[in-house]
Structure 1
Amino acid sequence: VSLYVPTCPGRPRAARGSSSLVAMASSLRHCVLLASLLCAVSVAFTSVSGGGSGLGPITTNGRNYTKVCDPARFAAMGLEMGGFRYCDASLPYAERVRDLVGRLTLEEKVRNLGDRAEGAARVGLPPYLWWGEALHGVSDTGPGGTRFGDVVPGATSFPLVINSAAAFNETLWGAIGGAVSTEIRAMYNLGHAELTYWSPNINVVRDPRWGRASETPGEDPFVVGRYSVNFVRAMQDIDGAGPGPGADPFARPIKVSSCCKHYAAYDVDAWLTADRLTFDARVEERDMIETFERPFEMCVRDGDASCVMCSYNRINGVPACANARLLSETVRGEWQLHGYIVSDCDSVRVMVRDAKWLGYNGVEATAAAMKAGLDLDCGMYWEGAQDFFTAFGLDAVRQGKLRESEVDNALRNLYLTLMRLGFFDGIPELESLGADDVCTEEHKELAADAARQGMVLIKNDHGRLPLDTNKVHSLSLVGLLQHINATDVMLGDYRGKPCRVVTPYDAIRKVVSATSAHVCDDGACGAAADVKTVDATIVIAGLNMSVEKEGNDREDLLLPWNQTNWINAVAEASPYPIILVIISAGGVDVSFAQNNPKIGAILWAGYPGEEGGTAIADVLFGKYNPGRSTIDEMQIDSLVYFVFMKRFLDCQGEGCR
């Protein structure tokens, strides 16, 4: 199989990472708590570029291949494949990887310890870009090998994880994982994706203001763990595929490599003086085991995840990515990880530059992380810097701070994973997947169903919902443009290019053709007079990814942009109780709406993905009955006041317990 792909535009984005958080929730009355190998320009497998005209996952002399051990590929390189035992498919994976690693010089080994592994043309090993994202659909976030274009213009964008988790439906979680992995594998066959994806995010939400609440399954460690098991199994498992050579768990073929992140005790991004790069999570042993480790243990033991990502933060003084007890002793030893451990991007550099841990330099931090069990260092690509393992690994060995055998162990974990993925040999039952398997009608309907199942009905006084189309002949849809015509907001973070986007306005108008849209701004809403003449009024309000996102935590749970005031004004003007739809992930204070009899119903829609408009309309008009949330609603008299978004053990002064 070969394919020429003419262009590959780069899409650099902000840093992706991890860290840790804090307290119990705040105290407001009713809260809805809610990489196409990044254009690897490499004719002879000697470099990986961040831009240009990359051609696919394995590119040799301008030609794309889907497996390393292709005789035609070796011939194009002037090599005889029969001379390389690592390409002998009759041998066990472990023996083949041992042969491959043994052929590499120390310099070549070190150059393959970063997320933009350089390969080794001398022995037929191609470069590989490890970073891929598939949180709720195939994403082109980051510098990895996933890209969209004429051949694959988009992929199914499912609801964000907090939505899907609210369905409390393990079958649904598995169906989403299976659809995502099928689209990944199809894109890989077309030269538009890699095979290693750093998803899901299974950090437990400990404060509703955390910026990354949208990415996770919520606040309950067991629910978070079960989500990870179902999603990872569906991403990785191949129907009908038996054990690999040697009947070894390290040789079990997998469809896509799924990575559970960010390990561990990460739940704060940026709040006052705390940030994810320097935060030191002070965690007691019981809380560590029962809350922060349990989902990862379930992911590794029950989900058989092939990857775990460690986080930026320190835990009781020690960086997560240099903590031998967490990595080599627990993840690899006690839980028996069959795969590799990767750093959150730039975590090793953070030890030196930001945390200034033990005064270590680059060589010392590299040695400490690898000795602790870290196999792969994701680097600081957005500033043009190498990963630390590639930059300092050679000196670490030469200075005696790191053994070459420890480098070999890391490479074995990495290449065993790629062997299992069919990167070297292909997987016959997956080779027929192609463009027709991406954005299928089945997947789009699954996205709509997931969005429907994740909706949460917060209030419904006097049966205000569902709306009766026999009685509602005219309707006013009111809100910020970003919400009522949500072509972007519904998709959330870590998204790719969707197959299509069905906005709330478009979907509601299909049900009630006489639907008018009234766009509000930050100051006021001119719809108050117009709602007097219609049969029903729906207000869509909430947040977006500029307010709650990676790298930013909120200081409160209030609706921004003066929304509370104009929602109340619209409600007062309407002759009927209005319906309020909330777009958000983390907590939003809707006590004003709970207490206002002119607001008859409140529906939490989260960030419902590309089919979100359809799902919202289906719920409002009674085609589907919504369920419960993955983060509690809380009464003001049931809470302890916690306002400082750090654990009280690390909190001093005003606002601490």
Structure 2
Amino acid sequence: MRINFPCLVLCSVLLASASATFAQDTTPNTKAATLVSQMTLAEKVTQVQSGAPAIPRLGIATYDWWSEGLHGIARNGYATVFPQAIGLAASWDTALLEQVGTTVSTEARAKFNAIGAGRDHVRYQGLTIWSPNINIFRDPRWGRGQETYGEDPYLTGQLAVNFIHGIQGDDPAHPRAIATPKHFVVHSGPEAGRHGFDVDVSPHDLEATYLPAFRAAVTQGYADSVMCAYNAIHGTPVCADGDLLTTRLRHDWGFKGFVVSDCDAIDDMTKFHYFKPDNVQSSAASIQAGTDLDCGSAYADLLEAVQKGYVKESTLDTALTRLFATRYRLGEWGGGENPYASIGMDQVDSAAHRKLALQAALESVVLLKNEHSVLPLRAGTRVAVIGPNADTLETLEANYHGTARAPFTPLEGLRERFGAERVRYAQGAPIAEGVPIPVPETALRSAKNGSAGLTGEYFDNVEFNGKPVSTRTDRVIDFDWDHVAPADGLHADRYAVRWTGEWLPPAPGDYTLVVHVDRCFDCNKQHDPVRLYVDGRNVLDDSGDDAHMQAVLHVTDTHSHAIRLEYVHSGQDQGVRLQWLAPAGAQLAEAATVVHDADAIVAFVGLSSDVEGEELKIDVPGFNGGDRTDIGLPQPQQALLERAAASGKPLVVVLMSGSAVALNWAKAHADAIVAAWYPGQEGGRAIAQVLAGDYNPGGRLPVTFYRSTRDLPPFVSYAMQGRTYRYFEGTPLYPFGYGLSYTHFAYAEPKLSASKLGAGAKLTVSAVVRNDGDRDGDEVVQVYLDALDDALASRHALVAFQRVHLAAKESRRVSFELDSRQLSSVDAAGLRAVQAGHFRVFVGGGQPGYTEGVTTVFTINGHQALPR
């Protein structure tokens, strides 16, 4: 071995000098600037890309800035999985959002600490969390709307402020993690074309609808990071828009953190926006505009950009100082004060966090209809559980999720609550025509013990050699194993599983058996191979080239068939599902059989992350590319509901989805309707507790439920006219803010602090809320303001809300203080001000005209311009 003594001495001197300098410097910004000054230009360029490599000579470890925490720390193994963001929004509970955010960052810290400060942290292992998504859910067709807090700027902003505070904690000098509200700004589909979409938004709509939540996230939530969006506005890609990223964000709002691009957004400027001829100039334009960090590799061309004079090296230094100051504040290098050093892996999916997940799922449930008080279901009720969402993991976890350790589906929840002997189950239908769904337990039987499911043998090698480490009966093959081992004694990166048993087709016909492997995002390695055998014949043998593997089988009878599925995990894929497409008549007949012997029917219908989501490869009736082309319930599920209702038995419809579904038939014919969203790991328990009356639902809709796609303006238009409750002139199926209870709330005695107000003064609004019923319950008290003299104003504007718990017969005066911004309006030029005029304020359990409440009026004199 040759030892280069001069290098060792020089490196030691440099490190000692750097350490001495850092010891003298006290602020993260000063430390960061000192560190950056010691980097070469080539090293600097590597550090403004999200996958920042180590620089050993400066003591810098590898750090990937990309981590996700939308509703639980995501894509890094076991975590507490909360309801999807739209479900959290349905709680209308700001305190709950803060608790969820705290849990997300606590579990992120635990995983970070397990690796250790000063060590390499690769993707999804860091403390810079790219959440929340606070884009306005302006159109229910957008597949990613499920990731948002709904359609209202004020509700979205207040929920975001609390979630961000939960993520970052109480100490700005030592954040527990960093929150990143996204996607700034005016971004909400369509998914097709999103990489080159140019938005023509009016100044009024920009200021009145699209910016307020981001402003709140920065000025009230003090978010330390912001993600800029893919789209352009008026021809300028947002990630290169200095007016937005520097003037508005930093100057007007006082933002001190760093801006990161959406992934490959810089590259998109060249390839799809044609903004610049190459990534050299696109990168230069972006970093000069204020995008400090590139999620991607386009910023590699900043080396050439500096050399050619397109951008100054000092501009890179500014961005890098922000980035490294963040890493210092997070305590990445260890040492010094670290209030989070004791957070260990025992806090990941802890008992307390599971309890919070159940609370969140309970609070997210919205009761939409309850004819003749069909709900709660009475003790001893025999329940027929039907529908494609009754027993699937994907409708619990949604997208951008962690791995749930012990997820509880609705079927399991109802069995636990009502007794397995009183619950019968049939899948009944797929999500949509041509969309495979996990083979249900009713069609699988273990040859080993005759129970529902297949016998799984788990091997600690990929050759199926020797004895299995574990053998068990798996009720269904529907698993999320992202970064986790499927059984004790196995390594998360290398194992094999063989499932054997019998497949029980319910009727003759053509069946498509599908093996779906959940692919690793952005992986270039070989995908996990699978093999499927039916009656000893190899019907599917895939080496990992295809995302969906299918075999069509014609069955002439209902005899059982031997089935064997072999799965080899040798890459970075994330789980496996055995799915099918079964004959519609056979599934409907199965559902009719279980309904026949039941006292009541609970139908779990809706959507799934297989059909709505980010850039999905799907094109079937009603769905395209992750978005929807029709907001109605898919036809196979509609047929199932009609078949069930024909029995004459009480029908409870539980909608599980990430967006509004036009349940017109169900509203007219079902006895009860419950919206449960994608409810997270404890969703099954929560739904069962609501249906049984153990918990009184108090959630409210964060979006408008329209009657038809025909009610909507063109999807590609970002003009707000005709959209959301604020500008929609039609009659909704269910309005924004709506939700029922098992009790009744009444309002009385509205009071204002003044009936005449000078511009700039605050206004206190209050009303007495009384629980008139016999059950304790939660009420979401909502305050809406109508500007009676302003032609540009929205129909109604939510300006305050509070979720309150009232015991039976309890009453309470609930008060709200409205400041200038809550009392303001926006003119055609996009200027916000408190204007003179007449105003009406409504306090109630929902929007004016759709719920009980009280109204009063006041006037404002004078004019007060407000800062942007």
State TM-score, norm by structure 2. 0.60
Letter in 2 for 1:308: V
Deviation at 1:78, TM superposition (A): 5.7
For residue 17 of structure 1, what is the aligned residue in structure 2?
A: none
Of 175, 178, 187 in structure 1, the residue corresponding to residue 102 of structure 2 is 178
Residues 140, 659 of structure 2: 8 Å contact kept: yes
Of 373, 395, 405 in structure 1, the residue corresponding to residue 290 of structure 2 is 373
Q: Aligned equivalents of 2:219 and 2:21: distance in 1?
A: 29
Distance 1:491 1:561, change over 3 A: farther
CA RMSD for the aligned pairs? 2.2
Residues 81, 87 of structure 1: 8 Å contact kept: no
For residue 534 of structure 2, what is the aligned residue in structure 1?
A: none
Q: Per the alignment, in what secondary structure is the counterpart of residue 602 of structure 2?
A: strand
Please say if 1:540 is aligned against 2:610: no
For residue 384 of structure 1, what is the aligned residue in structure 2?
A: none
For residue 44 of structure 1, what is the aligned residue in structure 2?
A: none
Of 253, 262, 267 in structure 2, the residue corresponding to residue 344 of structure 1 is 262
Please say if 1:450 is aligned against 2:360: yes
Please say if 1:490 is aligned against 2:400: no
For residues 433-486 of structure 1, the C-alpha deviation after alignment (integer angstroms, 9 at most, x for no partner) is 1111111111001001101101111111010101111x41x2111112xx1112
Residues 429, 640 of structure 2: 8 Å contact kept: no
Please say if 1:264 is aligned against 2:196: no
Q: Per the alignment, in what secondary structure is the counterpart of residue 295 of structure 2?
A: coil
For residue 577 of structure 1, what is the aligned residue in structure 2?
A: 650
Of 575, 594, 599 in structure 2, the residue corresponding to residue 530 of structure 1 is 594
Deviation at 1:169, TM superposition (A): 0.6
Deviation at 1:576, TM superposition (A): 2.1
Q: Per the alignment, in what secondary structure is the counterpart of residue 47 of structure 2?
A: coil
Q: Aligned equivalents of 2:354 and 2:376: distance in 1?
A: 24
For residue 700 of structure 2, what is the aligned residue in structure 1?
A: 628
Q: Aligned equivalents of 1:340 and 1:196: distance in 2?
A: 11
Q: Aligned equivalents of 1:255 and 1:114: distance in 2?
A: 23
Q: Aligned equivalents of 1:186 and 1:553: distance in 2?
A: 36
For residue 521 of structure 1, what is the aligned residue in structure 2?
A: 429
Higher relative contact order (CA 8 A, sep 6+): 1
- Range moving further from structure 2, 398-407 or 116-125: 116-125
Q: Per the alignment, in what secondary structure is the counterpart of residue 234 of structure 1?
A: helix
Q: Aligned equivalents of 1:365 and 1:515: distance in 2?
A: 60
Moved over 6 A (4+): 648-651
Of 88, 107, 114 in structure 1, the residue corresponding to residue 23 of structure 2 is 88
Deviation at 1:119, TM superposition (A): 3.4
Please say if 1:602 is aligned against 2:673: yes
For residue 3 of structure 1, what is the aligned residue in structure 2?
A: none
For residue 415 of structure 2, what is the aligned residue in structure 1?
A: 509
State TM-score, norm by structure 1. 0.78
Letter in 1 for 2:253: W
Deviation at 1:561, TM superposition (A): 5.3
Residues 25, 31 of structure 2: 8 Å contact kept: no
Q: Aligned equivalents of 1:190 and 1:403: distance in 2?
A: 39
Letter in 2 for 1:497: T
Please say if 1:432 is aligned against 2:342: yes
Please say if 1:314 is aligned against 2:232: yes
Q: Which has the higher strand share?
A: 2
Q: Aligned equivalents of 2:147 and 2:21: distance in 1?
A: 39
Q: Aligned equivalents of 2:272 and 2:696: distance in 1?
A: 49
Q: Aligned equivalents of 1:484 and 1:649: distance in 2?
A: 38
Letter in 1 for 2:155: V
State how many pairs are aligned.
535
For residues 286-323 of structure 1, the C-alpha deviation after alignment (integer angstroms, 9 at most, x for no partner) is 11112111111110111110100001101111101000
Residues 284, 310 of structure 2: 8 Å contact kept: yes
Deviation at 1:86, TM superposition (A): 5.6
Q: Aligned equivalents of 2:53 and 2:415: distance in 1?
A: 52
Q: Aligned equivalents of 1:132 and 1:331: distance in 2?
A: 23
For residues 562-621 of structure 1, the C-alpha deviation after alignment (integer angstroms, 9 at most, x for no partner) is 110111111112x4221111111112110001111xx21010110000000011001101
Letter in 2 for 1:365: S
Letter in 2 for 1:642: L
Q: Aligned equivalents of 2:594 and 2:105: distance in 1?
A: 47
For residues 542-578 of structure 1, the C-alpha deviation after alignment (integer angstroms, 9 at most, x for no partner) is 11112110122100112225110111111112x4221
Please say if 1:187 is aligned against 2:111: yes
Q: Summarize the alignment of residues 91-110 of structure 1 with structure 2, pairs less than 5 Å apart.
A: 91-110=26-45
Q: Aligned equivalents of 1:296 and 1:437: distance in 2?
A: 31
Of 148, 152, 165 in structure 2, the residue corresponding to residue 233 of structure 1 is 165
For residues 2-56 of structure 1, the C-alpha deviation after alignment (integer angstroms, 9 at most, x for no partner) is xxxxxxxxxxxxxxxxxxxxxxxxxxxxxxxxxxxxxxxxxxxxxxxxxxxxxxx
- Range moving further from structure 2, 531-540 or 346-355: 531-540
For residue 209 of structure 1, what is the aligned residue in structure 2?
A: 141
Structure 1, unmatched stretches of 5+, are: 1-73, 141-146, 149-153, 244-251, 380-386, 652-657
For residue 647 of structure 1, what is the aligned residue in structure 2?
A: 717
Please say if 1:397 is aligned against 2:468: no
| Structure number with larger C-alpha Rg | 2
Deviation at 1:423, TM superposition (A): 1.2
For residue 578 of structure 2, what is the aligned residue in structure 1?
A: none
Q: Per the alignment, in what secondary structure is the counterpart of residue 517 of structure 1?
A: strand
Q: Aligned equivalents of 1:508 and 1:363: distance in 2?
A: 58
Distance 1:401 1:460, change over 3 A: same
For residues 245-266 of structure 1, the C-alpha deviation after alignment (integer angstroms, 9 at most, x for no partner) is xxxxxxx221101101000000
Q: Aligned equivalents of 1:632 and 1:507: distance in 2?
A: 29
Structure 2, unmatched stretches of 5+, are: 1-7, 116-120, 431-583, 616-625, 722-868
For residues 121-169 of structure 1, the C-alpha deviation after alignment (integer angstroms, 9 at most, x for no partner) is 22222221000000000111xxxxxx33xxxxx1100000100111111
Deviation at 1:360, TM superposition (A): 2.5
Residues 117, 127 of structure 1: 8 Å contact kept: yes
Q: Per the alignment, in what secondary structure is the counterpart of residue 273 of structure 2?
A: coil
Q: Aligned equivalents of 1:130 and 1:356: distance in 2?
A: 27
